[in-house]
Structure 1
Amino acid sequence: MPVLLSLISLGGAVALLLWGTRMVQTGVQRAFGARLRGALARALGHRLQAFLAGLGVTALLQSSTATGLMVTAFAAEGLVGLMPALSVMLGANLGTTLIVQLLSFDVTALSPALILTGFLLFRRNAASLAHDLGRAVIGLGLMLLALHQLLLLFAPVESAPALRLLFRLVGEMPGLALLLAAVLAWALHSSVAAVLLVMSLAGHGVLPLPAALAMVVGANLGSALNPLLEGMGRADPAGRRLPLGNLLNRLLGLALAMPLLAPLAGLVAWASPDPGRGVALFHTGFNLALALLFLPLLGPYARLLQRLLPARDDPADPSRPRYLNGAAQELPAVALAAAGREALRLADLLEEMLRGARAVLARPEARIPPDLAAREAAIDRLNTAIKAYLAQLDTEAMDAEDHRRLQAVLLFATHLEQAADVVQRGLLPHAARPRKRGLPLPAPAQAEVLGWLDRVLGNLRVAGALLMTEDPRAARMLAEEKAVFRDMEAAATGAHFSRLRDASRVEGEASALQLDLLRDLKLVNSHVVAAAAYPLLERDGALLSSRVALVAGDES
């Protein structure tokens, strides 16, 4: 029974450590997540900048796994080259060691003050920066408290024969220690928590130093597994290059360190008489040595990974750009034409989504085709690829007309991506409601909704033609469609409230659904108009800055 209680207490302390680490990570992500992601994206042009960005972001997030998943997504979407992405991961591996270095000192007395400070900050407005920072400060306090609890738990370990036998077995078999730490770091999604646990074990003399160093190497290996497993779900092998490259460099570090555990343990013992502090020093030194070894070799290493995992050219993939020719970027006019052709594919994909919604509305018993969600994701990726392509153009070689055309393509792509979001999150769920509730629309209402949808489809085709022809007459006709939908919404709203006075519950639900569908279609139509008509009307001075009527005296 004492052994069981000791194991439960140990598990609770480890869970508290993990929860504290999680709170630090989520608090920082909520406070600075978008800015961290943006800073990371901006730093990916050069290997040294990328290395420092990976170090800094991971030091704040306290999770190389979170950084790895973020950069793996960048690399898979083609937003960053493999070499700077590998640099980020080397920096991320070093960044995880900073909090371990801090906590290797005796700072447990700060735990109550940190938890109190974090609590006071957390009680601020939930939308404030202080609220999110409070979460992170509470997490740091909980981590210190968990480490203190672990030290107290390890004090009587020598009196527990079963635990003494377990740790002796781990201490005599470095391979088992490595495997145990790798599994622990993988399961916790955090090498920081695993290394802090090892530091506590070593600091209390429960683990011999060579076994503790083997567990540090194992924790480093385990934290590289999560991005790799995430990348395994990607159809394109190119999306697995970065996590595989990160895992391979850690395996190389393992192969170099394991035969040298005894002399490394002697060196660590010489550098620090405190075994726990020595584990922290080894953790930093190991990752720093890997960074120094791999940074100069990232060019050939990236080329090797590209040969091992060549990109799969799937012409059927709608999210893969077809016209964004890198060689054309030297000629802005040609590059802008290529981007315009690619933007028209967004209109084609949006039309497929609208036709899918129409099929569901025409047959209430039909289910939403699963490929419609894939179409929305393809629009997102294609829109991102178009923007990245245009961002690389030499703006100094562009004249005023080129700049105007660039803005037109960007606006077109942005508004169609937003229209696809409306279809995915609003129109399709509303279209599926009759089947889910068993309340189909009455035939007249169904015909009216299908007529509205066909009108949006027609406007979308006009918008695609406008992007290429830039005909001002067609732009005016398309812009007038916004007023048409506004009038239709006003009429439908009035009819809905008139029906509610005499209608049954079923009729009222059908009328409300019809109005919801019209509002979704009106919003989609607004994005279509803004995508193609407004830029042309603004160019010709035919677009008013405001629809608000001027009052007397405003003319002056």
Structure 2
Amino acid sequence: MQYGFTDILQLIGALGVFLFGMKVMSDALLLLAGSKMRSILARMTSNRVLGIGTGFLITSVIQSSSATTLMVVSFANAGLLTLVESIGVIMGANIGTTITAWLITILGFKVSMSTIALPLVGFGFAFTFLKKEKLKNIGSFVIGFALLFIGLQFLKEAMPDIKNNPELLAFLSSYTDLGYLSIVLFLLIGTILTVVIQSSSATMALTLIMTAQGWIPFELAAAMVLGENIGTTITANLAAIIGNYKAKQTARAHLIFNLIGVLWMLILFYPFLRIVADVAMSLGSESPYLSAAAIPVAISLFHTIFNVANTFLLVWFVKPIAKIVERFVPEKIEPEQQVDAPKYLKHEVLKYPETAILALSRESQRLFKNSVFEIVSHALHIHRTDIKSEEKLKTVIKKSNILFDANVRDLYTRRVKTIYGEIIRYASLTQNKFTLTEAQNREITELKAANRKMVEILKAVLELSKNVSMYLNSENKYIKKEYDKLRKRTAKVLRVIHLFRTETDNLAYHRKLMAMKAALKTNKQSNDIAIDNLIRKDRITTDMASSLFNDYDNVNDIVYKLIDVADLLYSKKDTLLNNENF
């Protein structure tokens, strides 16, 4: 055999150039479009078709199914994607990765890129000297694109020639005539190669070159492609090892989805290949069973048709797949804590600015919904359930005359302080770690402002609560009536905020909140007149009047800030999608 150690080193080097080109191209595309792609992913819904489309779009643009899957695992780990949503995106990523195979087949085998690859490197390198970051990334993309095809050309040249090494074909033939055993064997080879190289695109390139050189027939190349589909799931599973149960579930879902696909394909393997061969010939290609030169096109067709068919078949079984995954990786129930801790803010969310911003938003909304809303309600001695109900507020206030054991300071320490501190810390870390767009910076600033206002609300409520407790069951019906008015006014705002937060069509409630905010100045004037009348008619003492003056101002301040917080946290904004770097 005329293929020695030096030739093997050249083959490894050629593979290295190909992989380096793929990495440079993928990294540049991530810098160019990754933030926009992550923003789209961050706005995902449970709609399966949208999920598949998102996965396909992201993988097609950034040219790396592994990068997409790792992104999905990170989002799931941060609690920003559900398991069902993650499965949909992964299905789309599997279709998107077929674009790379067509790129290699058309430009690597049908068109000679070797003559323009080196000039492209020079052209791209010139861009890297420019000041604008976007142009530098375009230059890096061009360099990576060219290196990919230079590496592919080196791979074709480094592969041993069958004519000069006939014993190699004799060696391979002993493994190609074993029927289904050969299929399984080459499936395993495809899996192992992808696991070792950590790139299904590189394994695909090797497979296409082996077919073009006449090493292996069409059906064994197809078997290797199936193996690559299994091997590519390893990256996500390795990344999920250090993640939480949600990340592990997403990675296992990727593996199970691809394994199910490979299983049904093995059952229908030969009939499916004949269909692919017929499609290839109908498009003007030769039969892949007769011509080695026709196999790369047929393999690319097989890769695409298989992934599309597998997605179309299994998209109806996303929830059963999710249930299977949940049985393998059960939910890990966190032990109850004496002091509330953040739910969404974990170190993993700092991998991308989008995950960090969405985690901050979710944590802020959770803090308002679970803690601030409750503390304000209880400080006024009103049940949250009554505020959220459809019962008339007049009736709610009338029946809410039992004093709660609402220690606002203690509740703040246990329910708010730690989470608030972590929100501010993560907001600062996000702004310091990433180069954010103006829209992203604005969103973080607004979230910090919302959290500061929540703390200010609780400080104001602490003072208000003392007087409410004192006058709630006062023998002086006039002072009791005035404090009931204050309670009713605050409860009304809380109810509208609840509806604004929970109703799908919430524009009317937003308008109502803005109207309430605009009316605060008028309220202050009417409040002052009402208190003056009570003093003049000697219905309340001067101490009571002093408390009322302070608490009317206090309530105005609380209401104003509650509306501000609701507007900052729950108004529908697409600031993440408004990405100026794309």
Is the structural similarity TM-score above 0.5?
Answer: yes
The Cα offsets for residues 350-399 of structure 1, whole Å up to 9 and x where unpaired, read as 9xxxxxxxxxxxxxxxxxxxxx989999x999745424658999xxx9xx
Could you say what secondary structure the match of 1:241 adopts? helix
2:125 matched to 1:119?
yes
How big is the shift at 1:229? 2.5
Q: How does 1:92-103 map to 2 (within 5 A)?
A: 92-103=93-104
How big is the shift at 1:215? 0.4
Cα contact 1:209–1:275 (8 A) shared by 2: yes
2:190 matched to 1:181?
yes
**Structure 1: gaps spanning 5 or more residues:** 323-341, 351-371, 398-408, 427-461, 475-534, 541-556
Equivalenced residue count is 382
The Cα offsets for residues 163-204 of structure 1, whole Å up to 9 and x where unpaired, read as 435544554432222112112212333212211221111122
Cα distance change, pair 231–388 in 1 and its aligned pair in 2 (3 A): farther
Match of 2:68 in 1: 67
Cα contact 1:154–1:206 (8 A) shared by 2: no
Match of 1:315 in 2: 335
2:141 matched to 1:136?
yes
How big is the shift at 1:97? 0.5
1:220 maps to amino acid: N
Query: Residue 265 of structure 2 is aligned with which of 257, 272, 276?
Result: 257
How big is the shift at 1:13? 1.4
Aligned counterparts of 1:386 and 1:163: Cα–Cα separation in 2: 61
Superposition TM-score, scaled by structure 1 size: 0.60
How big is the shift at 1:214? 0.5
The Cα offsets for residues 307-330 of structure 1, whole Å up to 9 and x where unpaired, read as 443311112689xxx9xxxxxxxx
1:417 maps to amino acid: I
Match of 1:148 in 2: 153
Aligned counterparts of 1:107 and 1:391: Cα–Cα separation in 2: 59
Cα contact 2:161–2:213 (8 A) shared by 1: no
Aligned counterparts of 2:361 and 2:174: Cα–Cα separation in 1: 53
How big is the shift at 1:58? 0.7
Match of 2:300 in 1: 280
Match of 2:446 in 1: none
The Cα offsets for residues 20-72 of structure 1, whole Å up to 9 and x where unpaired, read as 11111111112222222111111344211111111111112222111111111
Cα contact 1:203–1:275 (8 A) shared by 2: yes
How big is the shift at 1:219? 0.5
1:52 maps to amino acid: G
Cα contact 1:44–1:85 (8 A) shared by 2: no
Match of 1:242 in 2: 250
Cα contact 1:47–1:87 (8 A) shared by 2: yes
How big is the shift at 1:153? 3.1
2:363 maps to amino acid: I
Aligned counterparts of 1:536 and 1:165: Cα–Cα separation in 2: 84
Match of 2:500 in 1: none
Higher RCO, 1 or 2 (CA under 8 Å, sep at least 6)?
Answer: 2
Match of 2:322 in 1: 302
Match of 1:55 in 2: 56
Superposition TM-score, scaled by structure 2 size: 0.57
Aligned counterparts of 1:416 and 1:61: Cα–Cα separation in 2: 33
Aligned counterparts of 2:202 and 2:90: Cα–Cα separation in 1: 19
Aligned counterparts of 1:349 and 1:268: Cα–Cα separation in 2: 46
Aligned counterparts of 1:27 and 1:413: Cα–Cα separation in 2: 36
How big is the shift at 1:303? 3.3
Aligned counterparts of 1:90 and 1:207: Cα–Cα separation in 2: 29
Match of 1:198 in 2: 207
Cα contact 2:344–2:360 (8 A) shared by 1: no
Aligned counterparts of 1:46 and 1:373: Cα–Cα separation in 2: 28
1:221 maps to amino acid: I
Cα distance change, pair 423–100 in 1 and its aligned pair in 2 (3 A): closer
Rg larger for: 2
Cα contact 1:107–1:144 (8 A) shared by 2: no
How big is the shift at 1:111? 2.5
Aligned counterparts of 2:22 and 2:430: Cα–Cα separation in 1: 35
Match of 1:222 in 2: 231
How big is the shift at 1:267? 3.6
Aligned counterparts of 2:211 and 2:105: Cα–Cα separation in 1: 11
Cα distance change, pair 150–414 in 1 and its aligned pair in 2 (3 A): farther
Aligned counterparts of 2:337 and 2:10: Cα–Cα separation in 1: 52
Match of 1:333 in 2: none
1:144 maps to amino acid: F
Query: Residue 419 of structure 1 is aligned with which of 407, 415, 425?
Result: 425
How big is the shift at 1:265? 3.8
Cα distance change, pair 62–411 in 1 and its aligned pair in 2 (3 A): farther
Aligned counterparts of 1:153 and 1:188: Cα–Cα separation in 2: 17
Aligned counterparts of 1:202 and 1:160: Cα–Cα separation in 2: 16
Cα contact 1:108–1:148 (8 A) shared by 2: no
Match of 1:107 in 2: 111
How big is the shift at 1:538? 9.8
Aligned counterparts of 1:220 and 1:265: Cα–Cα separation in 2: 17
Aligned counterparts of 1:422 and 1:2: Cα–Cα separation in 2: 58
Cα distance change, pair 143–306 in 1 and its aligned pair in 2 (3 A): same
Aligned counterparts of 2:170 and 2:37: Cα–Cα separation in 1: 45
Aligned counterparts of 2:347 and 2:214: Cα–Cα separation in 1: 55
Q: How does 1:508-523 map to 2 (within 5 A)?
A: none
Cα contact 1:234–1:240 (8 A) shared by 2: yes
Aligned counterparts of 2:197 and 2:40: Cα–Cα separation in 1: 27
Query: Residue 470 of structure 1 is aligned with which of 449, 460, 475?
Result: 460
Match of 1:386 in 2: 363
Q: How does 1:261-410 map to 2 (within 5 A)?
A: 261-270=269-278, 271=280, 272-273=285-286, 274-315=294-335, 345=341, 383=360, 385-387=362-364, 389=366
Could you say what secondary structure the match of 2:243 adopts? coil
Cα contact 1:373–1:424 (8 A) shared by 2: no
Aligned counterparts of 1:39 and 1:410: Cα–Cα separation in 2: 31
2:169 matched to 1:164?
yes
Could you say what secondary structure the match of 1:90 adopts? helix
The Cα offsets for residues 432-456 of structure 1, whole Å up to 9 and x where unpaired, read as xxxxxxxxxxxxxxxxxxxxxxxxx
Cα contact 1:269–1:275 (8 A) shared by 2: no
